[in-house]
Each structure stands twice: as C-alpha cells, then as structure tokens.
Amino acid sequence: MTMPPWHMWGSVANQSLRSGQIIHNQQLARIAYKRPESWRFMFYARILRSFLTTPPASVLVTFEVSQGTGRGNISIPNFENYIFQITLGGEQGASNPKFSTQVLGAARSDLVATDPRSVVDVIVAQDIQVGFSCLLSSGLPPTDEVQLEAGCSLAPWHHARPEWLVHEFGGEELHGR
C-alpha cells in the first residue's frame, strides 16, 4: 500500500548551524493535489539548543513557498521569516516557538511610503512546495553552534471530494477513517 498523499502536506526538520553557515531551501512539504484548492497553513520554528561562547547571535529562519495552478507557477522566497536573538552565553535549552497561520503580503507600491500590506492566510494552488532556509550570524567562533527545528503544516480549507456523493473512498478513508 502506498503512503497517503497527506503525509507530504507537512513535516518538521532539525538543523545544526555554525557561525555564518547558511542552509538553503530544505523541503518541508510537497503537495500535488491534481485540482485547485484553497490551503490553510501553519509555519513553526524554535531553537532546540544553543552553545555560544561570545553572544549575542541571531538566527534567521525563512520559509519559501512555490505554488502552481494549471500552467502557472509562482515562487515566493520570503513568504514568512522568523528572527531569534540569542543573548546568553554557554549552553542554553529550547526557546519558545515562533509560529504563524498568517503572513504579511508584500507592499503593493514602491511609490507610496505607507502602502498597506495585506494579511495572507490562504494559499490558492493545486501544487505547493514549502522549504526553509536558515542562517546563524557570522563572526562567532567555529565551536559555537545552534540547533533549530522548523516545520509547516498545510490542509485544504474546504476539502470537498466528489467521492462523498457515492460513498466510495480510496486509500485510508474507508469506513469513516
């Protein structure tokens, strides 16, 4: 039996970083839904452990979303960003998580200084890929390290399925499961 497709609709990944190290676009989700849908999302990140001899340091976690419908594909490199500031030296435990189900859209005009930004809480697509990148500030000793965890979850907003009318479900959806 193959894995149900929703097992690819989100995941959590751990990453270790050293001074100035950049990790590019590690995949968290891959959706191939076969038809357009409106998707709700949640992004998440937290520091699991840090060891710094010369604080402060900052960690940037950036989520990239690529979405497509029909023959079009859009890649949004800074869909969501979290910045962690580590101010204590020595070994530190887990931080409070940062998470969001809404992001700020891009400014709509370069000509207006106070252009309002829209709030985005839905991704409209039939194919979606989510990846994350992270960066630990440079200039730290090479022995300094930060371990972080990042993840995302996506789910169709409505998820109406044609099979509901005939009461025949494939995969793991048999008998109300």
Extents of the domains making up the chain: 7-104+115-176
Q: What are phi and psi of 7, to 5 degrees?
A: -70, -15
Please give the pLDDT value at position 101.
98
The answer to whether residues 17 and 146 touch, using CB atoms and an 8 Å cutoff, is yes
Residue 172, helix vs strand vs coil: coil
pLDDT digits (tens, 9 = 90+) for 102-146: 999 988 888 877 777 889 999 999 999 999 999 999 888 988 999
Best CA proximity match to 71, nearest among 36, 38, 106: 36
The answer to whether residues 24 and 147 touch, using CB atoms and an 8 Å cutoff, is no
Cis peptide before 156 (omega within 30 of 0): no
Stated pTM of the model: 0.86
**How do the pLDDT tens digits run along the chain, 177 residues long?**
567 777 889 999 999 999 888 898 899 999 998 888 999 999 999 999 999 998 899 999 999 999 999 889 999 999 999 999 999 999 999 999 999 999 999 888 888 777 778 899 999 999 999 999 999 998 889 889 999 999 999 999 876 666 556 656 555 555 444
Written as one letter, the residue type at 138 is S
Please give the pLDDT value at position 52.
94
